[in-house]
Structure formats: C-alpha cells, structure tokens
Amino acid sequence: MTPASAPPPRAAAELVDGTRIRGGLDQPVTGIGAPVGRPDGAAKVTGRAKYAGEEMPAGTLHAVLVTSTIASGVVTDIDAGHARRVAGVVRVLTHESLPKLAPAPVPPAAQSFMPMQDNRVMYEGQPVAIVLAETLEAANEGAGQVKVTYRAGPLSTFAAAESVKPRSENNGYAFAEIETRAGQPPDPSQVKARIDETYSTATRHHNPMEPSTTLAEWRGDEISLHDATQWTYGIRYALAAMLGIEPRKIHVRCPYTGGGFGCKGYVWPHQVLAVLSAKVVGRPVRLNLTRQGMYTGSGYQPEVVNRVQLAADAGGRLLSIVHDSTNVSSLFDDYVEFGAAGTRGLYASGEIATSTKVRHCNAGTPTAMRAPHEGPGLFALESAMDELAAALDLDPLELRLRNYAEVDPADGRPFSSKKLRDAYLEAARRFGWEKRPARPRMMREGHWLIGWGMASCIMSTFRFASSARVRMRADGTVTIETGTQEIGTGPYTVMPQIAAEVLGVPLERVKLILGSTDLPETGGTFGSSTTLSTGSAVKDACEKLKPKLPLLEKMSEISADGVWKPHGDVGFDATGGKSGYSMHTWGAVFAEVAIDESLGLVRLRRAVGGYSAGRIINPRTARSQMIGGIVWGYGQAVLEESVMDARYGRYLSKNLSGVMLPVNADIPTDIDVFFVEEHDPHASAIGARGIGELGATGVSAAIANAVWHATGKRIRKLPIRLSDVIA
C-alpha cells in the first residue's frame, strides 16, 4: 500500500542534517547551528576528566551500605561486633546512631521515606547500616560482617496491590492532571473499527555507566559535597530542609556526571547518609553506590500497564481515544508515570479521555527515566494505532496523517511550533516506506523474516527557571558561569555557541564553568530542559553584557547576569503553562527488524528518525542524543527488564550480567537522524525546545509494529522475548 500523500522530494537546505556532518574541532563555523565538537572531549578521551569522588581530601573514609534482605518489616537487631573488629573499620552506623532529620521535601528529595531514621524496612535493598573504614576493602569486608535480624511484615506486590487514584494534593509527582476528558463519546453507528487492548512495559533501571557517588565533608557548619548528580541545587535544597540549615551553607559540586538518565535527578538516601556519616565521624566520607546498590538506591522506571481503547470511522478518523495507565509506586509516595501524557496531545479525536492510577508496593519510589511518561505510554498508543491501521486496512503512516492535530486536541490551544508532518514525510521518504507491503510476513531473507514499523514520537517540553552570568575580559575572552550539570548532553558545547553568536566572538574564546551551587542557579539537567532553559539565560546574560562592551576600554573585566523563566514567572512548566501555547516536541521513527523465527531472534537492522524540536543549537551533539534515544527504545523493546521476584520483593538480578542492556553488536550503524528546520518563538528565548528524551519515545512501538509486520505476531508486553517470537 502506498500512502495517499506520497512524500515529496525535499530541498536539503530545509533540514538540519546531523547525519551528513563530518569534521573536526577546527571547523570555522562557531555559532548556533554549527556542528562543533565537544570542548570537553580531550579530557574525556584521556581520562583526565574527574568525576565525583575521584579526588579525595586526605583522611577520607570509605562508606559501604548494609542493605535490607527483606522487603517489609522491621530491624530487630544489628550485631556489628564482628564488623568493628575488621582491621581498618572505623565505625558502624545504624538507625540508632544517626541524627534525626526533618521530613524530606519531594521533590527535590526523590522519596519521602528516609531509611535509617527508625527501624522500619519498606523495601528490599534499603540501607540499614553504614560501615566506615580506612580502605575500600575493609569497608566491604566489614559490611559483610554486620549481622542484621529482621521481623518480616506483609508484602505488597504489583500483581496483588489495588489500583488507586494518586493524591493530587501535596504530591510533587502530580504536576499534571490525573484524569482528563475532552470531547464527546462517539456515535456507535459511526464506528467502523475499535481497538481495546492492554499494553505493558517492564520495570527498568537507568544503569548509567557511573554508579552514584557522594563525597561529603563538613567544614564547620557548612557542607561540601562532590556528587554525581543531575541537579546540584536540588541536593542543596533537600539537605537544607532535612538538616534544618541554611541553603547557602551547602555547597554541591559535580565536575562531570557519568550519565544519569533520570536516576541522579532527585536526591536519594545515600547522599543524605553520606552527609550524616561525615557529621558523626567528623571526617570526609565517600559513599559509592555499587552497581547492585543502584537497583534499589536511585529509582527505576516503573512497570506500566496501559489499557488503550480506540474507535475510528470508515475514513480512518479517530472518534475516541481512551487511555488508562497504572504504574508501580512505593508504599509512601504516589509517583505518577503519566502514561497518557502523549495521548493527550498527539491526535485529533472526537473524544480523548485519560487517567492514571498507582499501585503501592514494597519498593523504593520510582523516578523519571529516559523517557518518562510518553516513553512507556507511547508504546501503548502507537501499538494500538498500528492495530487500528491494520483493522481499517490503512497504511499506518496514512492513519497518523489523517488524524494530524493542528491544535492541541485537549483544549484547542495552538502549538508553539509543530512541524511533525514534515518529519513524517521526510522520514518516510528516507526509509523507503512507500515500498512497504501492507500484509505481514511478506519479506524474507534466508532465515530472516523482515518487518517494517513506524510510530510517532512526542514529548512534553519541560522548562525550568534558570540563570547565568557572563564575564568578558579586555583580552576578548568570555567566561560563562552557570550551575547546570554536564551529564553528557553537551552544555560545554552549546552554551559557548550561544554566547559566541550573541556576542559575536570566536567560539574558542568562550569558556563555560558549570556544576556548582556556587554558580548561578539553574534547573536540573532532566526533562530535556537544559539547552532551552539555561541556554536562554546565557543568551539573556550576553544581551545584557553587549551594551557594556565599550566599558572594556577602561575595565579589565565586565559581567552581566542573565535570567530566564517560563511564562508567568514560574519556576517550572511542562505544558506551555501561561504562554497560551501548547508545547511538545514531535517526531516520527521508522524501524526495520529481522526475525529468525526458529531461533526466536529479533534484530534491529536500520532506523530513521525525523524530529520537530525547535532550533537545533548543535546538530552534531543533537544527532548523538537522538541515536542514543533510539538505542534506548531498542533496549526497552527487546532487552531491558528488571525482573522482580514478587515472593521476596527483590529484583532477580541487580547487576549488568543478569540484566541486558544493548551492546554495540545490537545496534546497526544505519541510523539516520534529522531535524526539521524550525525556530520556536514561544518555548524559549533561543528558539529551541528539548530533544534528549524525545528520541527514546515511539521507538519500542515502531519495533513491535515491525515485529508484527515481519511475523504477524502482535506483542503487547515489553520486552519482546525470544519465547514470544519463536515459532
């Protein structure tokens, strides 16, 4: 089948094309839109880049956590006698020896429950003791010698827990509506096709390559932290509230953060425990979470069950979309994984109704993970759309085009900018979608069945109030100072590009200093928000600096402070807020898979992703992020799952040998990524929206749709397992 509106040929100039870009650091172009390399590259490829805790003050103690082996109950006894006798062990701390804290504000604290404030055990892997020692070996051995006795309590599991409506009051995770309803239910006589299916995604962990690390030191009544974080200021605020001290006395630095993907966004118990330990022993303490510790100490993407009901008329127009999602949360927080976040804005439909529920389990609180909300939710919606297309005998792309939303379908607001149609058509052209056979099982190469699938991508536009300072010296060098974090997303590259363009100076004269609460405040590096938010503040600072440039004839240095806030002078906004516009990023992803049915193998062969995400500051680093997102989507689709044994409330494997993440051999080099040329005048001061999470949405649906196209099997539960595919 050929789409009714065949993709027209396009002029290459209209596309910001990261795939065609080659070249080194010496490329002459420097401003916004230039594909310049990373200034931090040399430090990273030589090992010179220092991550948190890689430089330690003399006398630093190593901390190792002892964690609960049960998921529910109380600690009745801790015998630390053997541990204390291990040579090199200095102290063993328990809930009885730690200072008491004020309640944790959620967020920036990731969960309201703080372990080791009393003897309660709320989840497996919860810290119950801390061993402090002169060497890492001694701390590890000591931790193994602590004997903890428990009295087990009742266990609440995802399968058995009741689905309840999450609290919307006093719940930092309920920042959008829990239930929405727009339009009217369809006239049954108009309905030509219906889909009513349940789609689920697995619990997964972020697994950044760098496990979380905190190095805490008290200097008088001030605290100095080196932390692997996505949000320096978040740690300051959380600690200030919990310890009852002034925020300005807490100094947090993160020189580099070795990936986060959400798990280093908010503040987790280990960071607080490191600070308390350092207080108790009066020495600096470094606490590295082990890889195992990361599974229960820094959040996870919760399992999400989505029921999606679609109804369409004979012309393929959506009459109704109903999307209800339910996710795991902890016993103490209502973390809301808004599975239907994308469903609310993606397609025009006579009716759109969504809801989100949670089930309280013996587990830590989930947290945002690339990509939250739309990430799990779009698997459901975009799989259902594929099923609907098949039921209507329509091409899946054509079905999307027929239901293209020109305005926000929930409330009629205009979009700040949306060029999704261009992304659909160009991505389809590059992929060669018009050659797709409509029926499954039509393409074969040797042992391999070949399938093509596509899906839409959509992500909320998270925006955070941010500030920056720009200094310029008489020698023409420029320094940008801003508290934001480098987690791999490239601020060292894009912030100087913005300053170079606004100030009209060569890029090599602009330097960025970041990663500290001693620098101007920004939001966290999450929600794909940093470039648009902090970048807008950098632009503002540069524009304020410009009129002062003549002063440099008399002064050795001038500076200006810049600030940027979402509309309405608010600190945070995810949907366009008071701008009057609905803000999302958009995209289309096409995937080709090969399936060996007799061995149950699923392999990705190529993918095309086209995105409408506002102005692209650096196509080279942007391309890398989108490729990363597609790989994350592949992992979600085919490999990643943190299996929980519900009998014990414990993950089966808390490591990288029993949990599969994609390796190089899984990922084809043929991943074609492009951005539609766009300037969003509303979302930010620099015309940009976010990109980091967008690329990870839709992909798993495109792959599952391709698996259907290859085999005729519709798989509605991720990850797609060998046992699902084997014939």
Partner 1 sequence: MNDFAYAVASEGNHAVELAAAGGATFVAGGTELLNWLRLGIAAPERVVDIGRIAALRGIREDGDTLWIGALTTLSEVEANALVRDKAPALAEACARAASPQIRNRATLGGNLLQKTRCAYFRVEEPMPWPCNKRKAGSGCAAMDGHHERHAIFGWTTECAATQPSDPAVVLACLDAEIHVVGPQGRRTISAADFHLSQDEAGNAQRETRLAPGELISGYLVRGSAARRSAYVKVRERESYEYAMVSAAAALVVERNVIRHARIALGSVAQKPWRLARTEAELVGKSLQRNALLDAVRMSMAEARPLACNEFKVRLATNAAVRAIEAAGRMQ
Partner 2 sequence: MADDRAVSEVKPAFSTRIALRTTVNGNSVAMQVEARTSLLDFLREYMGLTGTKKGCNEGACGACTVLLDGRRVCACMTLAASCADASVVTVEGLAGPDGALNAVQAAFIEHDAFQCGYCTPGQVVSAVACIREGHAKDTATVREWMSGNLCRCAAYPQITAAVLEAAKRGRT
- Mark the segment that binds partner 2 (CB under 8 A) among 92-100, 109-117, 625-633, 674-682: 625-633
B/e letters for 114-147, b = 16+ CB within 10 Å, e = fewer, are bbbbebbbbbbbbbbbbbbbeeeebbebbbebbe
Cα first-last separation, the chain? 27
Residue of 666, 713, 714, 717 interacting with partner 1 (CB under 8 A): 666
Q: Which of partner 1, partner 2, none does 211 bind, CB closer than 5 to 8 A by kind?
A: partner 2
Q: Which of partner 1, partner 2, none does 645 bind, CB closer than 5 to 8 A by kind?
A: partner 1
Q: Which of partner 2, partner 1, none does 291 bind, CB closer than 5 to 8 A by kind?
A: partner 2
State how far the Cα of 715 lies from the Cα of 725, in Å rounded to an integer: 9
Taking a C-beta distance cutoff of 8 angstroms, is the pair 676, 419 a contact?
Answer: yes
Q: Which of partner 2, partner 1, none does 144 bind, CB closer than 5 to 8 A by kind?
A: partner 1
Residue of 79, 96, 118, 137 interacting with partner 2 (CB under 8 A): 137
Angle, helix 491-503 to helix 530-545, in steps of 10 degrees: 30
CA 425 centroid distance within chain: 27
Binding track over 691-710 against partner 1, x by CB under 8 A: --------------------
Q: How many H helices and E strands in the chain?
A: 14, 30
Q: To the nearest 10°, the Cα dihedral for 97, 101, 106, 108? A: -80
Nearest-approach distance from CB 142 to partner 2, in angstroms: 12
Nearest-approach distance from CB 138 to partner 1, in angstroms: 9
Indicate the pairing of strand 250-253 with strand 222-227: parallel
Which 273-302 residues touch partner 2, going by CB under 8 A? 288, 290-291
Angle at 258 between CA 252 and CA 263, to 5 degrees: 75
Taking a C-beta distance cutoff of 8 angstroms, is the pair 715, 198 a contact?
Answer: no
Residue 41 binds to partner 1 (criterion: CB under 8 A): no
Q: Which of partner 2, partner 1, none does 600 bind, CB closer than 5 to 8 A by kind?
A: partner 1
Q: Is the dihedral of CA 710, 716, 721, 722 positive or negative?
A: negative
Residue 546 binds to partner 2 (criterion: CB under 8 A): no
Nearest-approach distance from CB 43 to partner 2, in angstroms: 8
Nearest-approach distance from CB 69 to partner 1, in angstroms: 4
Total residues in contact with partner 2, by rule CB under 8 A: 66
Assess whether the previous peptide bond of 371 is cis (omega < 30° from 0).
yes
- Mark the segment that binds partner 2 (CB under 8 A) among 131-139, 562-570, 674-682, 714-722: 131-139
Residue 27 binds to partner 1 (criterion: CB under 8 A): no
Residue 721 binds to partner 1 (criterion: CB under 8 A): yes
Taking a C-beta distance cutoff of 8 angstroms, is the pair 515, 486 a contact?
Answer: yes
Binding track over 264-293 against partner 1, x by CB under 8 A: ----------------------------x-
Residue 217 binds to partner 1 (criterion: CB under 8 A): no
By beta-carbon proximity to partner 2, the closer residue of 35 and 649 is 35
Among 226, 211, 248, 255, residue whose Cα is nearest residue 485 = 255
3-state SS of 11-36 is CHHHEECHHHCCCCCCCCCCCCCCCC
Residue of 170, 556, 664, 669 interacting with partner 1 (CB under 8 A): 664
Among 136, 10, 143, 181, residue whose Cα is nearest residue 66 = 143
State how far the Cα of 582 lies from the Cα of 676, in Å rounded to an integer: 19
SS3 471: strand
CA-based max dimension of the chain:
80
Taking a C-beta distance cutoff of 8 angstroms, is the pair 222, 506 a contact?
Answer: no
Q: Which of partner 2, partner 1, none does 269 bind, CB closer than 5 to 8 A by kind?
A: none
- Mark the segment that binds partner 2 (CB under 8 A) among 120-128, 148-156, 381-389, 484-492: 484-492
Residue of 31, 115, 166, 211 interacting with partner 2 (CB under 8 A): 211
Residue 81 binds to partner 1 (criterion: CB under 8 A): no
Residue of 2, 76, 135, 149 interacting with partner 2 (CB under 8 A): 135
Strand boundaries in 295-346, DSSP class E? 304-312, 318-330
By beta-carbon proximity to partner 2, the closer residue of 170 and 664 is 664
State how far the Cα of 483 lies from the Cα of 512, in Å rounded to an integer: 10
Residue of 25, 474, 570, 599 interacting with partner 1 (CB under 8 A): 599
SS3 706: helix
Residue 375 binds to partner 2 (criterion: CB under 8 A): no
Nearest-approach distance from CB 222 to partner 1, in angstroms: 36
Q: Which of partner 1, partner 2, none does 726 bind, CB closer than 5 to 8 A by kind?
A: partner 1
- Mark the segment that binds partner 1 (CB under 8 A) among 190-198, 574-582, 649-657, 687-695: 649-657
By beta-carbon proximity to partner 1, the closer residue of 66 and 114 is 66
Nearest-approach distance from CB 652 to partner 1, in angstroms: 4
Q: To the nearest 10°, the Cα dihedral for 524, 530, 536, 540? A: 50
Among 277, 266, 134, residue whose Cα is nearest residue 216 = 277
Residue 601 binds to partner 1 (criterion: CB under 8 A): yes
Among 299, 301, 365, 377, residue whose Cα is nearest residue 334 = 365
Nearest-approach distance from CB 345 to partner 1, in angstroms: 34
Residue 657 binds to partner 2 (criterion: CB under 8 A): yes
Count of alpha carbons within 13 angstroms of residue 347, beta-carbon side: 33
Residue 660 binds to partner 1 (criterion: CB under 8 A): yes
Residue 256 binds to partner 2 (criterion: CB under 8 A): yes
State how far the Cα of 59 lies from the Cα of 51, in Å rounded to an integer: 19
Residue 41 binds to partner 2 (criterion: CB under 8 A): yes
Which residues are near partner 1 by CB under 8 A? 69-70, 124, 137, 140-141, 144, 148, 292, 598-603, 638-639, 643, 645, 647-648, 650, 652-653, 655, 657-658, 660, 662-666, 721-723, 726-727
Which residues are near partner 2 by CB under 8 A? 22-25, 37-38, 40-51, 54-55, 135-137, 206-211, 256-261, 288, 290-291, 486-490, 620-621, 623-625, 627-628, 630-632, 655-657, 661-669, 671
